[in-house]
Every structure is written in C-alpha cells, then in structure tokens.
Structure 1
C-alpha cells in the first residue's frame, strides 16, 4: 500500500518542529537516521523521503548532510506556496528546485506539497494551479498538489501559533479544490487535466468523515499518486490501528506516500505534537511498525494469506 515514506512534515518550519528545543536540528537528524534505518530494514523497496522542507532552504539541507541524515534517505522533498506564504514569486519555482539540486546532486528532488489557496480569489487559485503544473511537471519526478478539500474551520490548522499568525493562519482553510460544503471550486476542473501526472496531498484526521468521498472523487479525477499521513500521536488513541487499517485499505488503489509525523504529548520534550521526541528511537519503532503493517517486503507479502494482505 505504501511506495514511499516521508520522515516528518516540514521539520524546518517552526510551526511543525519547535526549533527552540532543537536549534541545530541535531535531534531531527538523529530521528531521520533512526527512522531511515528502521524503514529500510523492514522493506528496502520503500523510498525514504526527507521531510518536505518549508521554507526551501539549501543551507538547512547542508546541515542535514553534516549531521549524516542524508545517508539514510533516498529523496529530498520541498514544499512551496509562493502566492500564500513564501517570499518568492511563483515563476521562481525552477530556481528553487535548482538550489536544492545543487547541494544534493546525488538524490532526486520531489515537490511533495505545492499549492495556491483561494483566500483572496478563486481565480488566483486557477492561475496558480496551471502555472505550477507548467513549471514543475516534467521538471521533477513527483509533484503533489495540496489539497483536495478545504480544511473545516472548526478543526483548526496544525500550527503552534494559530490566530497570532494573522491572515497567514486563515489561509490554511482555503487551500482545497473543494469547499468545506462539498462544492467544487473552479480550479478542480483545471486540476483534472493534470491528475494523471500531478498527485494530491490530503491529510485525513482521525476517523475523518471525508475519507470515502475523497477516494471516490480522486478515482473520478484519475488521480494515481496520493500523499497522506499516519500520526504517531494518533497511535495512542483507542482504536488507532482499526482506523489506520480502514484508511490504508481505502487508499489501496493509489500509489501512496505516507508521512510519519506528530509526537505524542507524553513522549515529547514538551507536551506538544510539534515537539521532538525524548527518545527518537521510539519514533523509529513507530515507523517500523507502520511499514511492516502496510508495506511488508515483497517476499513476506507474497507468503501472507490473501486476507492478511488486505
């Protein structure tokens, strides 16, 4: 079910990894090394992806190299939102990719989260989607649009600062191709023309009621590649494996990149999902468990009864 595994989400973004707890990202690098080894030991065919960086920062990648983290991943990933959050124009996408390729010439660079929201105007999203496709499809091996659905207002965005971010916070709720009420935005029709080449990135919350609709819509669109997440924090909820099984079974017809991230409060240096873990090996053990459950090595998978493989 899993073809690639990303180790954390936007670790150089202060809203997703608290730099006050790990100012040199040494703990994150140790986390990558341990998780990369764990995933590779379970199934060496799973592509290991360095957590999609945001902002795009070649100096941070160099830091990861110095810490030894790049030795345990196969791909370096970038995230970009030039019309919403980044301080560079959308036309600079090729330069942003080239800056990372220059420091990791031995590894492919994937754009695992790209997007333009409809916060200002839905017409801007249409332009942004088509311009992003023009600039990135064929330029990098994999591109994932964020996202299929708008984030419901009552759920809140995964960021430590929330309303203190001003309009930057509220833009989180307008990144989808489908509005919160289920109606399509104009950009959905444009995305459909690229769906066989541009994947989707869609987070699913614990017992997300949108899962079945998402699967149906993505199949209608012709989506082949999907990036989503499995939360280490959710692993400690009652019934977590039942939900993970349901989610991954529903997504079985897609080529899935799973993102392993989010720290359980009781295992973090601080009690927050953006905290680094007190014991990075515990996170690596979670990555190994999920990989073994949803992406066992081919020899093991072939030997499993059909029911167990489902």
Structure 2
C-alpha cells in the first residue's frame, strides 16, 4: 500500500518552510537526512522522496546535493502550476523537468501539478489536456492536484493567508469536483489519462470527504495517490484512530505518504513551517508511521530510471 515516503512538502517555498530561521536550508537538510534514514531503516522497500519543490529550482537541488541529502533518498519531486502561480508557460514543462534532470541522476517525480478554476472552468479543462500531453512518458509519477475543491470555511495551509491576494483564493478551486460535490468539465478528461496520471489529495484531520474521495478514485481508475500524515496532527486527541481509518481506506492504492508540518510546541518557532527543536523527533514520527502502515521489509533492487 505505501509505495513511497515523501520527506516534507515544498521545502523551498516560504509558505511551508521558514527560511528566516533557516536561510541556507542547513537545518532542513539535516532533518531530511535523519528522516529518510529512519524510513529506510524501518522498511527499505519504501521509496524515499525529497519533498516536492516549488518553485522548480535546480539551485535548490544542488544545495541539497552539496549537503548530502540526495545520497539518502531514492527520488526527488517537483510541483508546477504555470497557469496559477508560476512565472513560466505551461508549454515549458519539458524544459523545467530537464533543468532538474541536468543536476541529478535521481528520478524526478511530478507530485503536484494542477490548474485552478478560479478564473474559468474551461481553463482547467484545457490545462489538464495540455499537461497530460507534455508530461506523460516524461516522469515516473505524475499526480494531479487535486480531486476536491477546498471548502471555503477550512482555510488553505499557507503562511500569509489572505495577504497573498488572489494567489491565496486560487487554493480553493484546484479540484476536479466542486465543493458541492458536482463534477467539473475536466473530471471526464482526467479519467481518459488514468492510470498514467495519479492524484494528490490532502485529507484533512477527520475529513468527512474520505469515503466519497475513495469512491471517486476507484471510479476514475486512479492507481497512484499522494496524500499526507501531519506530524502536528499526531498530537491531537484520537490521532491514531483517524490515521488508521484514513490509511485503511486507501489500502487499494499505491500511496506516496508525505510527512510534514511541525507541531507548534516542537518548533523553534510556534508554527507548522518551523524547523523542529529536535530533528530526531520528526524522524521518529516518520519511522513510526511507516512501521504502522507499511511494516518492515528487506530492501530489493529497483530500477528507478
């Protein structure tokens, strides 16, 4: 069930990692190494993936290489949203992948790519078609973000919220299914590209959409799913009961499980983007979740090319 463990989410994005505390990412690198090693020591069959980067920046990957991180992971990942947040054309996807492939021999996954319907649902439909044309066959994993629109009352997990202007509100319209449960035009097009295209869907703590989401994933023919377990959520009451329910519901998919979000009381600063006070505590969380949901195993030879 657990195909891969992703160490953090968008570590080079200030909405997900506090670069004021860690401007050269040395703390992140140290944390990523101990976490990746903990996953590998627990179950060597689980692919370890450096958290998907956004923006797509070869200099960041070279920084991670210089700090030894790439010696401890099996793959790296990129995130791209050229019709919403990035300052490059959607037609440049092959070029952006090539920029990363030029600085590493590791496989490059596309663990988030998507188009919002903030402006028009027709834009998402066109963007999905073009994305599939450009990426299929060029990356081992391509995971579309996302299945569901984000409910307006939940709030997006970003650092500066409404101060981001329209960039913030686009977060609520990334789904193939509207908040009221009705499908958008791009949903049918997406089904034409499975299982080559997988999905990235973050299920929130005790998410009421879980069962509906699983039903849609199966109906659409999705095989590869990226989701996450929050280190911060692990301190909530009944956290393990929710984690168990979520992971049992997803047992029929090849899951990339993302580990991220610092508990406020365990960060250098009290925020989910903060480096942890003790990096080994994050590594222990990763190892415990892998043991609980993937068990242990003997590492086998893989061809990740």
Structure 2 counterpart SS, 1:155: coil
Asked if the contact 2:111/2:142 (under 8 Å) is kept, the reply is yes
1:32 match: secondary structure: helix
Secondary structure at the residue paired with 1:256? strand
Deviation at 1:296, TM superposition (A): 1.1
**Alignment match, 2:293:** 294
* C-alpha displacement of 1:59: 0.2
Alignment of 1:13-28 (within 5 A): 13-28=13-28
For residues 1-310 of structure 1, what are the structure 2 equivalents within 5 Å? 1-104=1-104, 106-298=105-297
Deviation at 1:298, TM superposition (A): 3.7
- TM-fit CA distance, 1:79: 0.2
* TM-score scaled by length of structure 2: 0.97
CA distance in structure 2 between the aligned counterparts of 1:73 and 1:145, rounded to whole angstroms: 23
State the 4+ residue runs in structure 1 displaced beyond 2 angstroms.
none
- What is the distance in 2 between the residues matched to 1:171 and 1:155? 14
- Offset of 1:259 from its aligned partner? 0.2
Compute the displacement of 1:78 (Å): 0.1
Partner Cα separation in structure 2 for residue 125 and residue 145 of structure 1:
12
* Distance of 1:133 and 1:275 partners within structure 2: 35
Number of paired residues? 298
**Residues 65-118 of structure 1: CA deviation (Å, up to 9, x unaligned):** 1111111111010000000000000000000000000000x2100000000111
SS at match of 1:184: coil
Deviations 1:209-262 (A, max 9, x none): 000000001101111010000000000011100000000000000000000000
| Counterpart position of 1:304 | none
Cross-structure match for 1:308: none
Structure 2's unaligned 5+ residue stretches are 299-305
Distance in structure 1 (CA, Å) of the matches to 2:247 and 2:154: 22
Deviation per residue, 1:11-62 (Å, 9 max, x gap)? 0000000100100000100011000110000011100000000000000000
**TM-score of the two chains, using structure 1 as the length reference:** 0.95
Aligned-partner Cα distance in 2 for 1:266–1:29: 21
- Matched residue, 2:303: none
Q: List per-residue Cα deviations over 1:166-209 (Å, max 9, x = no partner).
A: 00000000000000000000000100101211000000000000
Question: What secondary structure is seen at the aligned counterpart in 1 of 2:208?
Answer: coil
Which structure is higher in helix share?
A: 1
**Which residues of structure 1 form unaligned runs of 5+?**
300-310
CA–CA distance in 2 between the matches of 1:76 and 1:226? 16
